[in-house]
Structure 1
Amino acid sequence: MRKLLNTVYVTTEGTALKKDGENLVAEVEGAERARVPLHMLASVVAFGPILLTPALIGTCAERGITLVILDRNGRFQARIEGPVTGNVLLRRAQYRAAEGGEDIVRSIVIGKIANQRAVIRRAIRDYSEEMDPQARAALETATDRMAMILRRVQAKDDSVELLRGSEGEAANHYFAVFDHLIRSPDPELRWTARSRRPPLDAMNALLSFLYTLLTHDCRSACEAVGLDPAVGFLHRDRPGRPSLALDLMEELRAPLADRLALSLVNRRQLRAADFRRMEGGAVLLTDDARKLVLTAWQDRKKEERLHPFLAEKAAFGLVPWLQAQMLARHLRGDIDAYPPWFWS
């Protein structure tokens, strides 16, 4: 099993990142604040104005350590990586499969809907006694309708367009009852509808931030196994969009990102004061809240779950790489189909 390497998140503005021997060193106003061995790193994610020395950039590129630069609000700006090492034969197979890919899209959609439904079922199981009867009825109805969509997707040989429609239909049912999963007393943390670019409320701001982190991990996983992250199956090709990374993350949004967001809010680790509203209406995490979320994200990635196809336990943080590897094996013809990852 692949070793789960670390991702370093740098959030303090003005931090200088440099190479010192075999270590990455972070300095703030000339004082050393952190030191991490380079061999333990998979990537470095910098938020806002962070200094990267040429020596560090060159070493990271040489050793396959990805440098990702985001603005202070978490929006992607740039990515620095070394030479592409993807297998050209694997990528040719990927490009050919992307012209159709109904079987792969079907697996992704099945995995996503099943995992969204599992999140709702888990909430019903754990908190049914505390729920309002109408809320529980709404959750039960949503899971029943999502189960019907799942059976339809599994039974019919639909086109990619119809599969996309089924995925969107299930997502509408899921987010229509998402507010019933929130148990925070703060009215500012209630859910109304999905909004992005920019997020217009606190829960959307939290989800968007977590989805950004998950996208980075899925893109790195694609590149690690030699796939082209820009050429997907469920998501249409678009210049500058990592469509395949977005495909891989669909199965993981609900169990990894959504569940973490709900945990942070329901355990009252995040409150209304941890979000700020900008002049244009966008809602963003405060700096301290962002650090709390990053710490929780790293801890969640260390948790282990049984991989249903491999029948082995693996850390959450390795699941994107394992799924990218399963997809690569399918494209090479080593396995008959791409096996989705089911959370339980």
Structure 2
Amino acid sequence: MLKKTVEIATPGTRLSVKSRQLVIERSGLPAASLPIEDIGVVIVDDTRAIYTHAVFISLLEAGATVMVSGTDYLPAGMMLPIDAHHVQTERHRAQVDASEPTRKRAWQAIIKSKIRNQAEVLKAFAGEDAGLAAMANRVRSGDPDNLEAQAAQRYWPRLFGKSFRRDRGADGLNGLLNYGYAVIRAATARAIVAAGLIPSLGVFHRNRSNPFCLADDLMEAYRPHVDWRVRKSLDEGVEESRGLAERQTRQAMLSLFNETIMVAGRRWPLLLGIQTSATSLAAVLTGEKAKLALPEGLPLALSVGNEAEEEEG
């Protein structure tokens, strides 16, 4: 079932639970409600929001992720369920026991997908891929040649101009990218937990202070979709100088979940595509399958009907 992404941004919103419904109360507006089981990710951008404890318990029990933003509108933290798969212990053990060659091949596949998708982004906006498609074909197990970094050196100046520098702490254009990556990371972390995997045990990323190493691994293949959405939004008139303080800007980033992408030769709403990739990663790490299901190319078009939905709060 495709879950909804819910953004809470109206100042002073109060969240509570009644009869398995998330109740959203806003000053001067009638109360709104959503079935808890339909929610996949809740993003709270309102620093004055009020919650009952039952909100967190109910959402986590239903397998949802709760992400809260700071005063800069960038995510400050997230909550994930810890019991989300019926064979979780078995998969945890298999994940820990996965061989180094298996991990390296998984990273190879992720980086190949990332660079190929970066090539598609450049072709869409710059008219040529700067040799990235050919570079993707040269990625070896574990990416020992660090072609990921070499691709980035060609990619960023062609996508956003020679003066652009990627900065995780900057605002403006970097802030848009950071927000997009953060919401993709939250969705990826949720999908990994739902697949019965340990989110802190990565195939490449290793950082004792990072509880989401595996999410950071898998989301690399989806980063170019955020880049595509940011560049497309700028071309459509979103002003980078106004940044994330504008609700319209954040909604433009969240609209990425509404896009249809190809994963393993099939069309999926992006949110389900991430879940498909996480499930296939579990199968690879446990030895059930040899090949990862990863995104192929740019979003095809806006989905109609059965797409990931954004709810305003």
Q: TM-score range by the shorter chain?
A: 0.7 to 0.9
| Distance in 2 (alpha carbons) for counterparts of 1:99 and 1:13 | 49
Structure 2 partner of 1:316? 270
2:188 to 211, 218, 222: 218
Q: 1:121 aligns with which of 116, 120, 123?
A: 123
> Are the aligned partners of 2:261 and 2:296 in contact in 1 as well (CA < 8 Å)?
no
Are 1:112 and 2:93 counterparts?
A: no
Deviation of the 1:96 alpha carbon: 2.5
- The match for 1:267 is 236
Letter in 2 for 1:202: G
Query: Match of 1:7, as an amino acid?
Result: T
> Is the CA contact 1:191–1:203 (under 8 Å) kept in the aligned structure 2?
no
Which one has a bigger Cα radius of gyration? 1
Q: Say which of 131, 148, 162 aligns to 2:144.
A: 162
Name the amino acid aligned to 1:210: G
Relative contact order (C-alpha < 8 Å, sep 6+): which is higher? 2
- Contact 2:17/2:23 (CA < 8 Å) preserved in 1? yes
Given candidates 165, 169, 173, the residue that maps to 1:193 is: 165
Partner in structure 2 of residue 306 of structure 1: 262
**Deviations 1:40-64 (Å, cap 9, x if unpaired)?**
2112221223211022223223322
CA deviations on 1:259-303 (whole Å, 9 max, x unpaired) are: 1111111111x125523xxxxxxxxx22xx2x2234334433223
Alignment correspondent of 1:329: 283
Does residue 1:62 correspond to 2:61, yes or no? yes
Counterpart of 1:94 in structure 2: which amino acid? Q
Greater share of helix residues, 1 or 2? Answer: 1
Q: Is 1:341 matched with 2:310?
A: no
Aligned pairs for 1:8-47 (under 5 A) are 8-29=6-27, 31-47=29-45
Identity across the alignment (%): 24
Structure 1 unaligned segments of length 5 or more: list them. Answer: 126-139, 181-189, 276-284
Task: Confirm or deny: 8 A CA contact 1:108 1:250 kept in the other structure.
Answer: yes
Q: Deviations over 1:12-41 (max 9, x none)?
A: 332111113232122234754532222321
Give me the whole-angstrom Cα distance separating, in 2, the residues matched to 1:83 and 1:218: 15
Aligned-pair CA distance for 1:233: 1.5
Instruction: Mark the CA change 1:39 to 1:211 in structure 2 (over 3 Å): closer, same or farther.
Output: same
Kept in 2: contact 1:67–1:79 (CA 8 A): yes
Q: CA deviation at 1:222?
A: 0.4
- Which amino acid in structure 2 is aligned with residue 316 of structure 1? L
1:151 and 1:313, CA in 2 relative to 1: closer, same or farther beyond 3 A?
closer
Aligned counterparts of 2:134 and 2:240: Cα–Cα separation in 1: 37
What 5-or-longer segments of structure 2 have no aligned partner?
299-313
2:109 is matched by which residue type in structure 1? S
The CA distance in 2 between the partners of 1:13 and 1:251, in whole Å, is 35
Alignment length, in residue pairs? 294
Report how far residue 336 of structure 1 moved.
1.8
Deviation at 1:90, TM superposition (A): 1.4
Q: Aligned AA for 1:113?
A: I
Which residue of structure 2 aligns with residue 95 of structure 1?
96
Give the whole-Å Cα distance in 2 for the aligned partners of 1:243 and 1:83. 16
In 2, Cα distance between the equivalents of 1:247 and 1:90? 18
Distance 1:324 1:271 in 2: 34
Change (3 A) 1:342 1:81: closer
Q: Partner amino acid for 1:335?
A: K
State whether residues 60 and 81 of structure 1, in contact with CA within 8 Å, keep that contact through their aligned partners in structure 2.
Answer: no
| Alpha-carbon distance in 1 for matches of 2:62, 2:204 | 32
Deviations 1:229-253 (A, max 9, x none): 1111232233234111111111111
1:91-132 CA distances to partner (integer Å, 9 max, x unpaired)?
22222237451111110110011000111112244xxxxxxx
CA contact (8 A) 1:306 1:314 kept: yes
CA gap of 1:81–1:273, structure 2 versus 1, over 3 A, is: closer
